[in-house]
């Protein structure tokens, strides 16, 4: 995608760029100016925002700088593409993350 006025205005406002939130802001700006692209990536981004991903241990939004080893899951199931909201082995995964290891896959 070419860099237009929306790209530069959003880039100046966001500390972390590129990011999902910055991409949403660019899309919102472009939509406001009549430049709309509809596609799979846009639908996935909307679904991701609606799922409201949170750290399962602290309850804070994912990507928080305070959480070193975070284990994030969506709080709402929006569609069939939404991952499991709470895996059955949640406590074991949290212990593994605190120990600096990888979490086991959800069954």
Six-digit token string for 35 = 């430049």
pLDDT, tens digit, for every residue of 45-102? 888 888 888 887 788 888 777 777 777 888 888 888 888 776 667 778 878 888 888 8
Most confident of 5-9, 32-36, 90-94, 102-106: 5-9
Domain ranges of the chain: 56-107
Look up the pTM and report it: 0.48
> Cα dist. 26→9, 12, 43 in Å?
8, 11, 15
């Amino acid at each position: 995608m070419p860099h237009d006025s929306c790209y530069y205005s959003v880039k100046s406002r966001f500390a972390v760029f590129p990011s999902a939130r910055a991409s949403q802001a660019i899309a919102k700006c472009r939509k406001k100016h009549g430049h709309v692209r509809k596609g799979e990536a846009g639908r996935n981004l909307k679904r991701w925002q609606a799922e409201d991903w949170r750290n399962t241990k602290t309850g804070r939004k994912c990507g928080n700088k305070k959480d070193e080893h975070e284990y994030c899951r969506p709080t709402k199931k929006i569609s069939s593409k939404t991952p499991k909201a709470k895996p059955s082995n949640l406590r074991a995964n949290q212990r593994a993350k605190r120990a600096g290891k990888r979490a086991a896959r959800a069954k």
